[in-house]
Amino acid sequence: MTAQTKLFEFLCELIDIQIKKYVGLATYGVGPDARMNGHLVCEEVNELLQLSKELQEEIDEPSSVRANHFDTILKQVHFYVEQEYLRARAGWLLDDNPIHSPALHRISAQLDELKKIAKSAGIKELPQPSVPQTKIQEQCQHDSNEIAFLILDLAQKVKENPEKEIDSNIVPKHAIQIMQKNATGRYCEETISQEIDKLKEQCERHLQQSPLKKKTPSN
């Protein structure tokens, strides 16, 4: 199987996962981070569909292959998976549960698979971190950092004051209860606490340097 075919199959699976995620966020998502995430995933799917179309054309018409175009597509796919990893990592730090843990495991496996595809195509390594190549990707990177920052900032505030009142119209009651429980447990674990601090600072730096604003359905 060629690297192009492997990446095309990877893309098809990724698009299927993202569409299901979008439906879930649109149907069951609660709060501004869910709405932002849903909007972000919708635009991501549109770009991934375009990339899969370009890749399919190259597979069907080998004579149409453009120099370094496969590399460009691979790097863009890798970029999107990295952004999803950032959001998933923040969610897992907030709470290790049957939703966040499998998602983080799945995304980690996808990143490993992309490295294997790159190796089979003679690409030594993928850029770390990935660099956005379109305006939509720049917005995706900004919003991913915004989502992660919101999640981690909330975890820190609840840790500092477990009795802090949180608007249940913004954060569902069951999530508030979980965070209050984690405030005296999970968030106090040294490795978790340090990673929350480090990742939040990383996201905050990006947002401070970014000329963009978060994009939501109301924008």
What ranges do the domains of the chain cover? 3-208
CA-to-CA distance for 151 and 91, rounded, in angstroms? 7
Q: What is the pLDDT of residue 217?
A: 42
Smallest Cα–Cα separation from 94: which of 198, 208, 180? 180
**DSSP H or E stretch at residue 159:** helix 135-160
CA gyration radius for the chain?
19
Smallest Cα–Cα separation from 39: which of 55, 54, 22, 51? 22
Q: What is the pLDDT of residue 34?
A: 56
Helices (H) and strands (E) in the chain, counts: 7, 0
Q: What is the pLDDT of residue 85?
A: 96
Q: What is the pLDDT of residue 24?
A: 63
Q: What is the pLDDT of residue 219?
A: 40
Q: What is the pLDDT of residue 175?
A: 82
pLDDT, block means (10 residues), the chain with 219 residues: 93 91 56 61 90 91 78 95 95 90 95 96 89 92 92 93 80 84 95 98 95 57
Spatial contact of 76 and 132, defined as CB atoms under 8 Å apart: no
CA-to-CA distance for 76 and 89, rounded, in angstroms? 20
Spatial contact of 202 and 146, defined as CB atoms under 8 Å apart: no
Residue 109, classified by CB atoms within 10 Å of its CB into exposed (0-12), middle (13-18) or buried (19+), is: exposed
23 vs 16, 20, 26, 41, 46, CA distance in Å? 11, 5, 5, 10, 14
Q: What is the pLDDT of residue 156?
A: 94
Q: What is the pLDDT of residue 189?
A: 97
Residues 6+ apart with CB under 8 A from 21: 41
